[in-house]
């Protein structure tokens, strides 16, 4: 498997979907079956290769970049095609290829209006490349390109296949279609953050030239090496600004309060598969950026900003849960729950401890599969009921027992029930917050821990409330004459793997933590060295 | 056997034994029997999964599979108990499921005196309730779901009981909460029931905040989640644990208060009666609600060494709970609610005993209570099954229709009321005696709690007498067209079995005479050196028994008298108006909680949503501002400014061209002339400039 | 012989050429006048080249002679074609380049 280990494996994982998209472009629009088949096969190959990557991955050296390569790309700015995975990127990369396969299976006969499977699949495949690419990139330029690559397909997905409901904009009272409003908001919001992020990257590039290393570089590892070993003070007084710029870029994507408002709209307006990919993978790009770039390259600034991040994270947790309680739209409620859950992930990161960052990574994976599944179910339900208003639903468990059962199970997983995937991220984030990295304010973090723990109560509160409104009770009279069919085969095919993953991760978290722990320990060790020196 | 007894008796002062804990007794590893104890834990989950997937295709929704698994647990637990009796076992199996930094996260099974006792209790009560439920739940709308959840509960409870580390206990803790949610809300068509389920889950979740934090602090200090390490460090006086001992102890107790329905978290348990009766019997009387007491027992060496200041608080909470819950039981009409409040009250006894440092007494009351309270619930279920109503006002005179139920229920009631020589008599006496002992050994306030206990014993006897007389005596008040009948054998046999338990369970710990229960419980690592009496405390024994007998007698005088009219009897017992109102409204605690919940749900949540709208408005506002700005830039600056000047230049050039084109005559010679003149002028200019 | 004499000769010849270009109607004569101006320039080039002891002047004049020959060839061909088409070589009538 020499070819695989030398970077070809990862390259194929990332670009096979693109190739498939190109092939799809060539075949006529009427050949739907062929289009679906090509997309499925491509995503399956990509997923299969990422499973191969698990076996080729040397878990003993999970703290180092593996299976990668570094080829010259844009020599004039010293940007390279540098890819590779370590213990942190591996689970996320596998998650992204995994969810794409399920998204395509689910789409098999769930085409949102205005149909056109070919175009829809092309967008999914481009998204697949962008998502997997972000997780394997080791070069800031490459990272940025993949990071931005996901924007466009998602923009079109929301804008074209999204919800056509008319909404009135606040203040101006202009009536627009939900999908247009949401897609533009999503695009601009994210681009706004990315612009600052790019500035930050450029600043890092130029500053690295002034460091003792003396070479301008975009290489993440080299930069982190400069920051932690070679010349820790190389950023000088620009450091806070660079961190702030990166923070904006990542925090919008996460999203952290108060930069989160694009998320409920985008989720609500997006077609089911769009919501799933958005929740399962896209949000993780932001948190991954923090772990991969902000912490290793700007350790000292991360220390300074950690209390702020912790406070924002806690606000996200409480605020997200409270906002959930005020929702009437089921999909919007689930969207807001993401704000709270990602708050736990950010709380874990802000502690800057091995436990906290491990919690963040397993939290990301768990949120990906759980919320992904919740959106699948919510999408399928609104597909059948033609409404997402919780006040009109009720007795779903009676009308569609299997669907209701899966919804209940997933909601339980989402509220952090021990033994299921969601528990570890939440619990360990709290553990991390009790003892943050030396030098961080103990009182603040312990207060954050207590508030976070209270947040788990609110989380349970809104999810149970949702279950009560949607799943339990007697079905409303209006559904008596409506034919509602329970879960279909393609739905089951897409969901059962997620259900299994939720249980497996809950019972045996080593699946993720086994890979992440050495890598996280390495990051924390570097941070400690940099901050201590 | 002899050396065991001496060991138990040799337990001297509290701290002194803590020093030599565990090492004084020969603990065997229990061999294969202990190594395979995980089977007990895993099988119910397998059963639950199987029933979920294939239950609809198996006869009776997989009922017999579920019964089989808990039967296996009972047999395994019994075999373990007997071999533990012979040679004390303390064995732990661990498997690593993740490593984070220096932390090992593990699943583990601990097999020692404490857990074996609970294995047996869970197995025994579960087998009785499951068997009973086979008949009780026949023809239920969702039998499969019931059996899956019930099996899930059995597994979750065993996860909790067998926990070798505190994290696993948390896992089991929340999983039993989930099972409880599913089963309380079993009849979820009615909003009331699903709300009760939600209430149970959320109240527990609030208390779990304490538990979660209480779990993670000692784990961080000691660097391990294992009970072995935490308790060991506590006993050795780990400075971190000493420093945080009080906080940890209190936080863990808050968790225990939630699950064991202690004041002020007791509100969920009465509502939990919305679930099917076998559920109430197994979960909300015998096993799940005792998890808090079990946690205190498991952590007892910790409390006894570094968190000793928490114990008075524990004791007082127990005392308050037993009294207020007992009072509430008096005014209930729903027979299950009477029993529910009684459970809360009895849990108060257990907790108070724990707080008084009486590890054995508290757990012994747990042990006996499990038998007679599940018996009472199942008996009540049998009655409800026959009458199709929960309310005692629809019952009466049932002893003629259902004699077996009557006799077994009567035995259970007497045991609960502390009637001499029945199970409750021994255990309640031990609790009271331990309170009395504590009052003279460092905790003077225990005297008050002891008196509360005696008063509660009186109240208990009174409300149980009320329940028995209202249900089984007098005349039948229910639907006359529907004559009640005795339940099928599948239901009465478990009742009879449990009735035997309610009689004999107390004899496993007769102070000074026969104390195998004490030996079982001290057969564990870091065995707590609590005080257990070597003989009866005659003063407490007499007072406690008298209180019970007087309670029964007064109940008899109010509610018996078969000959009188029912109305007369109902009217005879009246509490003073304000007190009655207070009790009927449950001290307004629920209303107070609803106030908070509604505050969170309405104004606070709406405020968050409103704030969201505000942020959104800011974002949209920026967008709109940008578009206005764009319009200005386009129309004002671009179109009227830059573009206009560009156009002006272009236009001017055109005009100029139009004017100048007349010069172009097309005559070559004219062009040449102009050329020459131009050159000439240039030359002249050049000449002038250079000659200067 | 001074440089001034050559310059005056060149100037006179150039003036004659300018006169011819501006005044004569016949296109052939105009062309010839242009040739006269070129000759004047050639004289200047050679004279100043000699004066500054620089061979480039003479080389340049050879270039000019060659180019002039080519120019006259093309010019006469054009005039011939115009004459054939219009039966006249009068430059006053040729104002096709007018606006």
Cross-chain CB nearest to B668 (options C23, C91, C99): C91
pLDDT at B13 over 60: no
Q: Which residues contact B63 (CB under 8 A, 6 or more apart)?
A: B130, B133, B134, B137, B143, B147
What separation in angstroms does the CA of A330 have from each of A321, A377, B231? 14, 11, 46
CA of A3 to nearest chain B CA: how many angstroms apart? Answer: 32
What is the span of the domain harbouring residue A386? 2-532
Q: Which chain B residues are closer than 8 Å to A453 by Cβ?
A: 209, 212-213
Share of chain B above pLDDT 70, in %: 93
User: Are C99 and B669 in contact (CB < 8 Å)?
Assistant: no
Retrieve residue A18's tokens: 């693109």
Q: Which chain C residues are closer than 8 Å to B664 by Cβ?
A: 97-99
pLDDT of residue B570: 61
Closest by Cα among B297, B295, B273 to B283: B273
pLDDT of residue A362: 92
Chain segment B461-488, per-residue pLDDT in tens: 988 988 888 888 877 777 777 778 888 8
Q: Which residues contact B402 (CB under 8 A, 6 or more apart)?
A: B382, B383, B386, B484, B485, B486, B487
pLDDT of residue B20: 40
Chain segment B76-112, per-residue pLDDT in tens: 999 988 888 888 888 888 888 888 877 888 888 988 8
Are B283 and B177 contacting, i.e. CB atoms less than 8 angstroms apart? no
User: Are B97 and A510 in contact (CB < 8 Å)?
Assistant: yes
Q: What is the DSSP string of A234-275?
A: TTGGGHHHHHHHHHHHHHHHTTPTTS-THHHHHHHHS-HHHH
Nearest CA in chain B to C24: B669
CA A252 to chain centre: 12
User: Are A453 and B609 in contact (CB < 8 Å)?
Assistant: no
pLDDT at A403 over 80: yes
Best to test chain C binding among B661, B662, B668 (most C CBs inside 10 Å):
B668
> What are the helix (H) ranges across B509-661?
516-522, 538-559, 566-572, 577-584, 589-599, 605-631, 643-660
User: Are B213 and A434 in contact (CB < 8 Å)?
Assistant: yes
Query: Is residue B674 less than 8 Å (CB to CB) from chain C?
Result: no
Question: Measured between alpha carbons, how far is A476 from A468 in angstroms, rounded to an integer?
Answer: 13
Main-chain phi, psi angles of B588, to 5 degrees: 65, 15
Domain count, chain A: 1
Cross-chain CB nearest to B672 (options C22, C94, C95): C22
Query: Is residue B680 less than 8 Å (CB to CB) from chain C?
Result: no
The mean per-residue pLDDT over the stretch B551-563 comes to 77
Strand partners, B94: B108
Q: Beta strand A175-177 with B91-100: parallel, antiparallel or unpaired?
A: unpaired
pLDDT at B8 over 60: no
Nearest CA in chain B to A171: B617
What separation in angstroms does the CA of B217 have from each of A22, A76, B244, B313? 55, 53, 8, 20
Q: Is this complex scored with an ipTM above 0.85?
A: yes
Regarding predicted confidence, which is higher, B329 or A168? B329
pLDDT of residue B592: 84
Retrieve residue A416's tokens: 């952090």
The mean per-residue pLDDT over the stretch B492-520 comes to 87
**Per mean pLDDT, which range of A74-88, A173-187, A306-320 is the poorest?**
A173-187
Question: Measured between alpha carbons, how far is B18 from B12 in angstroms, rounded to an integer?
Answer: 10
pLDDT of residue A395: 83
Question: Measured between alpha carbons, how far is C7 from C43 in angstroms, rounded to an integer?
Answer: 8
Kindly tell me the number of DSSP H helices and DSSP E strands found in chain A. 23, 4
- The region, left, alpha or beta by phi > 0 then psi within -120 to 50, assigned to residue A17 is alpha
User: Are B96 and A458 in contact (CB < 8 Å)?
Assistant: no
**Per mean pLDDT, which range of A300-309, B220-229, B327-336, B570-579 is the poorest?**
B570-579
Share of chain B above pLDDT 90, in %: 20
The mean per-residue pLDDT over the stretch B28-39 comes to 81
pLDDT of residue B14: 34
Question: Measured between alpha carbons, how far is A459 from A405 in angstroms, rounded to an integer?
Answer: 19
Question: Measured between alpha carbons, how far is A57 from B325 in angstroms, rounded to an integer?
Answer: 60
Question: Measured between alpha carbons, how far is A521 from A353 in angstroms, rounded to an integer?
Answer: 8
Nearest CA in chain B to A474: B189
pLDDT of residue A346: 93
Main-chain phi, psi angles of B667, to 5 degrees: -90, 120
Residue listed under structure tokens 């200047």: C44
The mean per-residue pLDDT over the stretch B32-43 comes to 86
Cross-chain CB nearest to A170 (options B178, B608, B613): B613
pLDDT at A98 over 90: yes
Nearest CA in chain A to B613: A170
Chain segment A479-505, per-residue pLDDT in tens: 888 788 888 888 888 899 999 999 999
Q: Which chain B residues are closer than 8 Å to C97 by Cβ?
A: 664, 666, 668
Question: Measured between alpha carbons, how far is B498 from B366 in angstroms, rounded to an integer?
Answer: 15
C45 band by pLDDT with thresholds 50, 70 and 90: very high
Question: Measured between alpha carbons, how far is A464 from A470 in angstroms, rounded to an integer?
Answer: 10
User: Are B665 and C21 in contact (CB < 8 Å)?
Assistant: no
> What value does the mean pLDDT of chain A take?
88
Cross-chain CB nearest to C91 (options B662, B669, B673): B669
pLDDT of residue A323: 85
What is the residue extent of each domain of chain C?
A: 27-89
CA of C21 to nearest chain B CA: how many angstroms apart? Answer: 7
pLDDT at A347 over 80: yes
Query: Is residue A513 less than 8 Å (CB to CB) from chain B?
Result: yes
SS3 state at B116: helix
Cross-chain CB nearest to C22 (options B661, B665, B673): B673
A533 band by pLDDT with thresholds 50, 70 and 90: low
Query: Is residue B690 less than 8 Å (CB to CB) from chain C?
Result: no
pLDDT of residue A18: 92
User: Are A419 and B617 in contact (CB < 8 Å)?
Assistant: no
Query: Is residue C30 less than 8 Å (CB to CB) from chain B?
Result: yes
pLDDT of residue B569: 62
Nearest CA in chain A to B209: A453
User: Are C21 and B669 in contact (CB < 8 Å)?
Assistant: yes
The mean per-residue pLDDT over the stretch A47-56 comes to 90
Q: Which chain C residues are closer than 8 Å to B677 by Cβ?
A: none
CA of C98 to nearest chain B CA: how many angstroms apart? Answer: 4
Cα B521–Cα B265–Cα B471 angle in degrees, nearest 5: 85
Q: Beta strand A79-85 with B91-100: parallel, antiparallel or unpaired?
A: unpaired
CA of A171 to nearest chain B CA: how many angstroms apart? Answer: 7
CA of B602 to nearest chain A CA: how many angstroms apart? Answer: 7
Retrieve residue A277's tokens: 């990919």
User: Are A468 and B198 in contact (CB < 8 Å)?
Assistant: yes
Chain segment B47-60, per-residue pLDDT in tens: 999 988 888 888 77
Cβ of B594: how many Cβ atoms within 10 Å?
Answer: 14
B572 band by pLDDT with thresholds 50, 70 and 90: low
Query: Is residue B669 less than 8 Å (CB to CB) from chain C?
Result: yes
Size of chain B in residues: 692
pLDDT of residue B15: 34
- Neighbors of chain C with 3 or more C-beta pairs under 8 Å: B
CA of B670 to nearest chain C CA: how many angstroms apart? Answer: 8
Query: Is residue C18 less than 8 Å (CB to CB) from chain B?
Result: yes
The mean per-residue pLDDT over the stretch A216-234 comes to 84
Interface of A with B in 5-34 (CB under 8 A): none
User: Are B205 and A457 in contact (CB < 8 Å)?
Assistant: yes
User: Are B661 and C96 in contact (CB < 8 Å)?
Assistant: no
Chain segment B201-257, per-residue pLDDT in tens: 988 988 989 999 999 899 888 888 898 889 889 888 888 888 888 999 999 999 999
Q: Which chain C residues are closer than 8 Å to B665 by Cβ?
A: 95, 98
Residue listed under structure tokens 């279909």: A488
Greatest mean pLDDT among A101-105, B666-670, C93-97: A101-105
Regarding predicted confidence, which is higher, B3 or B364? B364
Retrieve residue B500's tokens: 């035997």
Chain segment B250-297, per-residue pLDDT in tens: 999 999 999 998 988 888 888 888 888 889 888 888 888 999 999 999
The CA-to-CA distance between both ends of chain B, in Å, stands at 136
Q: Which chain A residues are closer than 8 Å to B171 by Cβ?
A: 418-419, 423
Query: Is residue C94 less than 8 Å (CB to CB) from chain B?
Result: yes
Q: Which chain A residues are closer than 8 Å to B621 by Cβ?
A: 171
The mean per-residue pLDDT over the stretch A453-477 comes to 88
Is domain C27-89 annotated with CATH 1.10.287.3510?
yes
pLDDT of residue A383: 85
pLDDT at B6 over 60: no
User: Are C22 and B665 in contact (CB < 8 Å)?
Assistant: no
Chain segment A250-304, per-residue pLDDT in tens: 999 888 888 888 888 889 888 999 999 999 999 999 999 999 999 888 888 888 8
Closest by Cα among A144, A331, A163 to A249: A144
Query: Is residue C91 less than 8 Å (CB to CB) from chain B?
Result: yes
pLDDT of residue B571: 65
CA of C50 to nearest chain B CA: how many angstroms apart? Answer: 24
């Amino acid at each position: 498997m020499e070819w695989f280990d030398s970077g070809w494996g990862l390259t194929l994982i990332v670009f096979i979907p693109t190739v498939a998209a190109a092939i799809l472009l060539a075949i006529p629009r009427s050949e739907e079956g062929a289009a679906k088949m090509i997309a499925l096969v491509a995503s399956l190959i990509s997923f299969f290769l990422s499973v191969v990557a698990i076996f080729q991955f040397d878990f003993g050296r999970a703290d180092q970049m593996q299976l990668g390569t570094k080829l010259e790309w844009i020599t004039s700015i010293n940007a390279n095609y540098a890819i590779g995975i370590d213990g942190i990127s591996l689970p996320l990369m596998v998650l992204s290829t995994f969810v794409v396969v399920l998204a395509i299976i689910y789409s098999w006969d769930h085409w949102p209006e205005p149909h056109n499977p070919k175009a829809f699949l092309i967008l999914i495949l481009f998204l697949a490349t962008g998502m997997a690419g972000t997780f394997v990139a080791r070069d800031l330029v490459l990272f940025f390109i993949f990071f931005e690559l996901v924007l466009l397909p998602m923009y079109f997905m929301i804008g074209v296949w999204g919800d056509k409901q008319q909404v009135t904009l606040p203040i101006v009272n202009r009536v627009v279609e939900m999908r247009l409003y949401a897609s533009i908001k999503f695009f601009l919001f994210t681009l706004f953050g990315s612009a600052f992020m790019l500035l930050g990257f450029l600043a890092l590039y130029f500053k690295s030239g002034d460091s003792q290393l003396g070479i301008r570089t975009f290489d993440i590892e080299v930069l982190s090496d400069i920051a932690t070993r070679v010349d820790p003070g190389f950023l000088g007084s620009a450091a806070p600004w660079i961190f702030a710029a990166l923070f904006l870029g990542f925090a919008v994507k996460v999203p952290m309060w108060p930069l989160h408002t694009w998320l409920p709209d985008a989720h609500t307006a997006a077609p089911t598969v769009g919501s799933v990919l958005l929740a399962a993978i896209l949000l993780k790009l932001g948190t991954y950026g923090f772990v991969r770039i902000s912490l290793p390259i700007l350790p000292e600034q991360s220390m300074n900003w950690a209390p702020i991040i912790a406070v924002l994270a806690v606000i996200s947790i409480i605020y997200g849960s409270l906002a959930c309680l005020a929702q009437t739209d089921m999909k919007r409620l689930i969207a807001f729950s993401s704000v709270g859950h990602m708050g736990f992930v950010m709380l874990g990161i802000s502690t800057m401890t091995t436990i906290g960052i491990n919690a963040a990574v397993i939290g990301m994976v768990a949120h990906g599969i759980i919320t992904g599944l919740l959106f699948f179910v919510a999408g399928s339900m609104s597909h059948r009921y033609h409404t997402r208003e919780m006040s009109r639903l009720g007795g779903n468990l009676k009308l569609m027992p299997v669907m209701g059962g899966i919804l209940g199970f997933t909601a339980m997983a989402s509220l952090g029930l021990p033994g299921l995937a969601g528990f570890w991220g939440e619990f360990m984030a709290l553990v991390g917050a009790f003892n943050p990295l030396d030098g961080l304010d103990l009182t603040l973090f312990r207060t954050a821990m207590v508030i976070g723990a209270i947040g788990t109560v609110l989380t349970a509160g809104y999810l149970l409330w949702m279950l009560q409104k949607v799943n339990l009770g007697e079905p409303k009279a209006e559904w008596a004459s409506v034919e509602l069919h329970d879960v279909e085969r393609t739905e089951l095919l897409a969901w059962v793997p997620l259900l299994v993953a939720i249980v497996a991760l809950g019972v045996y978290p080593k699946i993720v933590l086994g890979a992440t722990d050495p890598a996280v320990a390495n990051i924390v060790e570097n941070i400690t060295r940099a901050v201590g020196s | 056997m002899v050396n065991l007894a001496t060991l138990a008796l040799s337990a001297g002062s509290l701290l002194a034994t803590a020093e030599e804990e565990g090492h004084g007794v020969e603990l065997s590893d229990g061999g294969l029997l202990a190594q395979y104890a995980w089977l007990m834990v895993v099988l119910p989950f397998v059963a639950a999964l199987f029933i979920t997937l294939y239950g609809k295709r198996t006869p009776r929704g997989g009922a017999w599979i579920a019964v089989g698994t808990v039967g296996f647990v009972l047999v395994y637990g019994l075999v373990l108990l007997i071999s533990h009796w012979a040679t004390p076992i303390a064995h732990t199996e661990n498997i690593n499921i993740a490593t984070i930094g220096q932390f090992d996260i593990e699943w583990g099974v601990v097999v020692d005196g404490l857990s074996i006792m609970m294995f047996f209790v869970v197995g025994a009560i579960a087998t009785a309730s499951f068997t009973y439920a086979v008949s009780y739940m026949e023809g239920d709308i969702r039998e499969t779901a019931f059996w899956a959840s019930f099996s899930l509960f059995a597994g979750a409870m065993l996860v909790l009981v067998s926990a070798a580390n505190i994290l696993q206990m948390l896992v089991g803790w929340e999983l039993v909460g989930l099972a409880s949610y599913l089963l309380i809300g079993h009849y979820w068509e009615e909003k009331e029931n699903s709300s009760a389920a939600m209430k149970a889950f959320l109240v527990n979740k609030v208390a779990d905040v304490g538990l979660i934090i209480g779990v993670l602090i000692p784990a961080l200090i000691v660097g391990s989640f294992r009970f072995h390490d935490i308790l060991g460090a506590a006993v050795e006086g780990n400075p971190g644990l000493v420093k945080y001992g009080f906080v940890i102890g209190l936080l863990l107790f808050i968790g225990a208060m939630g699950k064991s329905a202690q004041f002020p978290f007791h509100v969920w348990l009465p509502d939990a009666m919305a679930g099917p009766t076998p559920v109430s019997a197994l979960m909300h009387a015998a096993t799940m609600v005792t998890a808090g007491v079990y946690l205190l027992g498991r952590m007892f060496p910790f409390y006894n060494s570094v968190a000793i200041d928490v114990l008075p608080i524990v004791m007082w909470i127990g005392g308050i709970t037993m009294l207020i819950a007992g009072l509430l039981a008096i005014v209930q009409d729903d027979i299950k609610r009477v029993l529910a409040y009684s459970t809360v009250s009895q849990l108060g006894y257990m907790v108070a005993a724990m707080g008084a440092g009486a590890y054995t007494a508290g757990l012994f009351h747990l042990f006996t209570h499990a038998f007679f309270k599940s018996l009472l619930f199942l008996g009540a279920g049998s009655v409800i099954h026959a009458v199709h109503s929960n309310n005692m006002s629809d019952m009466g005179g049932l002893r003629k229709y259902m004699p077996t139920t009557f006799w077994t229920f009567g035995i259970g009631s007497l045991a609960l009321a502390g009637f001499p020589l029945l199970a409750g008599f021994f255990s309640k006496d031990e609790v009271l005696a331990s309170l009395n002992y504590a009052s003279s050994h460092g905790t003077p306030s225990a005297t008050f709690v002891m008196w509360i206990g005696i008063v509660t014993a009186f109240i208990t006897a009174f409300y149980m007498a009320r329940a028995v007389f209202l249900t089984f005596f007098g005349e039948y008040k229910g639907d006359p067209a529907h004559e009640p009948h005795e339940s099928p054998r599948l239901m009465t046999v478990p009742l009879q079995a449990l009735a035997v338990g309610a009689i004999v369970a107390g004899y496993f710990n007769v102070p000074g005479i026969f104390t195998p229960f004490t030996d079982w419980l001290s057969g564990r690592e870091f065995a707590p050196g609590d005080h257990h009496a070597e003989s009866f405390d005659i003063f407490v024994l007499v007072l406690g028994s008298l209180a019970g007998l007087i309670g029964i007698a007064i109940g008899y005088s109010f509610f018996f008298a078969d000959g009188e009219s029912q109305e007369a009897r109902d009217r005879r017992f009246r509490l003073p108006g304000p007190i009655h109102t207070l009790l009927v409204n449950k001290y307004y605690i629920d209303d107070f909680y609803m106030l908070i919940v509604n505050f969170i749900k309405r104004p606070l949540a709406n405020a968050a949503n409103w704030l969201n709208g505000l942020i959104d408005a800011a974002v949209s506002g920026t967008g709109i501002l940008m578009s206005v700005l764009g319009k200005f830039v386009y129309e004002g600056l671009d179109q009227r400014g830059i573009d206009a000047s560009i156009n002006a230049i272009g236009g001017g050039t055109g005009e100029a061209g139009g004017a100048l084109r007349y010069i172009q005559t097309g005559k070559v010679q004219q062009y040449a002339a102009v050329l020459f003149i131009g050159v000439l002028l240039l030359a002249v200019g050049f000449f002038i400039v250079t000659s200067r | 012989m001074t440089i001034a004499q050559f310059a005056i000769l060149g100037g006179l010849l150039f003036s004659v050429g300018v006169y011819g270009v501006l005044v004569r109607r016949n296109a052939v004569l105009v062309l010839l006048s242009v040739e006269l101006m070129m000759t004047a320039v050639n004289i200047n080039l050679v004279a100043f080249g000699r004066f500054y002891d620089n061979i480039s002047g003479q080389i340049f004049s050879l270039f000019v002679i060659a180019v002039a020959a080519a120019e006259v060839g093309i010019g006469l061909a054009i005039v011939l074609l115009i004459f054939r088409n219009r039966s006249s070589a009068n430059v006053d009538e040729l104002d096709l380049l007018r606006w």
